[in-house]
Amino acid sequence: MTDAMARLWTWLTAHRLRTILAAVVGVLLFGVLGFMIFGQLGPLDALYMSVITISTVGYGDLVNTDAGKLFTIAYIMLSVVVGSTVFAAVAASFVEGTLQSVLGRRSMARKVDELSDHVILCGFGRFGQLTAAELHQAETPFVVIDKDPGQVALAESHGDLSLQADATEEDTLVKAGIERARALLLTLPTDAENVYVILNARELKPKRKDFCIVALARDRTAERKLRMAGATHVVSPYTIGSKHMARQITAPHLAQVMSMATEGDGLEKVGVGMFEFLVDPGSTLVGQALRDSPVRREFGVIVVAVVHGGEAQFNPGPDYVVEGGDVLIAVGPRDGLARLKDAAHPPVPEQHE
């Protein structure tokens, strides 16, 4: 009997609401058939007896036969066992789900608190999901904020840190670690929400002028308002889309190259990548002209632009001397870009035993 109860408990607790309901209905049907056969009752009286037995109400006894009474005894015992087990399974499921939810939120909050120099992504709709994919590819740490539980669950299924909250509230930005973040990406459903978040972010970080805020403009007239609110960059799908469509006709080959450079796997298909590298003051590249550096000669990488002092210089000449703090925009094979990334950092001192 103990083994049977253990197996029954395992079976019930391993399944959720559908299985539990099936168990209750099964016991009820078993009682109806039993009372009809052994108690010689009609269908309605058999159902009545089954219900009052399971519920332990016990308004009356309609069974007059000895076989019916024996079946009633067995059925009462079975109903008590199954009913208690089902109740325990439902309670355990509820407690377990609540506990997991609480622990999950606390664990997520701890992980967010450990982030530093990360990106905050507000909104996990279509644009937000595409943006998150790009951040993943660039191995950039980020946290998602969305008030829709379905979108938050989707973000968590991708392994993203996420907060289910209203991004327009200051407390939400604080919980996302805005004091330690380096950028804010806004893809919220409305431009008004994006403007409100920008205002809060600028108020929370008034001294960080290098804090970058990139906002998606869903309306063509919202770009100016987003910039006035404090957005560093505004992305307009209408502007980008219209230029790309026109370029397909006016300069189709240029459009093809631009698509390769901007699409997620466009350059990957030909084994080429494009990225930016911040040159540390202690890098071996500092003080070298591009013609004398290993960038092109050894790495096989082309520097298409240099950002110096906040200003971009496209197609720098071979005599350009690299300085600490420069940002090199480079195109080349993946292994060459990886070597350039290492060269942009100070060399690791050798350890002597």
Query: Torsion angle, CA of 327/310/140/111, rounded to 10 degrees?
Result: 130
Token pair, residue 156, equals 């968590």
C-alpha span between 143 and 136 (Å, rounded): 11
The string of DSSP letters for 223-252 reads HHHHHHHT-SEEE-HHHHHHHHHHHHHH-H
C-alpha span between 155 and 149 (Å, rounded): 10
Q: What is the pLDDT of residue 8?
A: 54
Domains of the chain are: 2-108 (1.10.287.70), 115-235 (3.40.50.720), 271-353 (3.30.70.1450)
Tell me the CA distances in angstroms from 5 to 11, 50, 71, 78, 305, one per residue in order. Answer: 10, 21, 20, 11, 73
Residue 317 CA from chain centroid, whole number: 43
Q: What is the pLDDT of residue 343?
A: 92
C-alpha span between 349 and 351 (Å, rounded): 6
Per-residue pLDDT of the chain (353 residues), as tens digits, is 455 555 555 555 555 556 666 777 787 788 888 878 887 888 887 887 777 777 665 656 666 667 766 676 676 667 766 766 767 666 665 555 544 554 456 667 788 888 899 999 999 999 999 999 989 888 899 999 999 989 998 998 888 999 999 999 999 999 999 999 999 999 999 999 999 999 999 999 876 667 999 999 988 888 889 999 999 999 988 777 777 788 788 888 777 777 766 665 555 655 677 888 899 999 999 999 999 999 998 999 999 999 988 788 888 989 999 999 999 999 888 889 889 999 998 875 554 44
Residue 220 near residue 238 (C-beta atoms within 8 A): yes
Q: What is the pLDDT of residue 326?
A: 92
Q: What is the pLDDT of residue 248?
A: 81
C-alpha span between 296 and 278 (Å, rounded): 17
